[in-house]
Amino acid sequence: MTEPKHFADREEEHHLWKELTEGNEAALAALMRSHYKPLLNYGYKFIKDEEFIKDCIQDTFIEIWNKRKQLSEPDSVRAYLFICLRRKVFRNGSKLKLFRQHDTTFLDETDLSVEFSPEWWMIKEESMAERTRDMANMLNALPRRQREVVYLKYYQELTREEIAGLMAIAPQTVSNLLQMAFDYLRRNGRTTFISLLFSVLMN
């Protein structure tokens, strides 16, 4: 039986992580190549400054490399990188005063808020311009934690446990937030939207 791709990918990630901690620069480069776009996409959800996000990603990998001898192997490399980037975005953004007070109040990095845009959906299907705008509007109407859980679960394909670790909440809370998000969409009469959402995300 052929091994599912995501399991094979995760095994490769853990192999590269082990090589990285042993000082293999090629392993570091491979991890950067495979995770750069997901990290850029994730960071861009918090602040629309591509150069700033690129700098944060670079700083994240530099820190990992510099601390490689002290690092233990994470359960999920991608989830670990997301956590590191999330913290880096908050800390660097706060120092540079990139987060404006009238946008939101940032008490700590757990308050960062994901924002969906039509362009995010267009990555998956360019012919769905009108419907992608509807999707973005509906998802952005969700409370910030529900938005991020939906994004991490269905776009970044993280598990419930990985999302819980990333957002510093209990796994059951992740399930509850997902349920509340879909209950909201159903209450607003968007059953066709939900079907479309799953068809886009799961392809």
Per-residue pLDDT of 15-57, as tens digits, reads 999 999 999 999 999 999 999 988 988 888 888 888 899 999 9
Looking at the 3D structure of the chain, how many domains does it have? 2
In whole angstroms, what separates CA 89 from the centre of its chain? 13
Q: Are residues 73 and 14 in the same domain?
A: yes
Structural domain that includes position 48: 5-109
157 and 178, same domain (yes or no): yes
Query: Does this model's pTM top 0.75?
Result: no
Length of the chain: 203
Q: Which tens digit of pLDDT belongs to each residue from 84-125?
A: 999 898 888 877 766 554 344 343 444 555 555 545 444 444
Residue 169: pLDDT over 80: yes
Whole-angstrom Cα distance, residue 34 to residue 23? 18
Output the CA–CA distances (angstroms, integers) from residue 190 to 56, 107, 126, 176, 186, in the order listed: 37, 34, 22, 19, 5
168 shares a domain with 148: yes
CATH of the domain at 49: 1.10.1740.10
Which of 84, 109, 134 is the C-terminal boundary of a domain? 109
Percentage of the chain with pLDDT > 90?
31
**Where do runs of H (alpha helix) occur along 45-108?**
50-66, 77-95
Q: Are residues 88 and 17 in the same domain?
A: yes
Say if CB 45 and CB 114 are below 8 A apart. Answer: yes
What would the mean pLDDT of 189-200 be, rounded to a whole number?
Answer: 51
Question: CA–CA separation, 46 vs 129, rounded Å?
Answer: 22
On whether the CB atoms of residues 166 and 145 are closer than 8 A, the answer is no
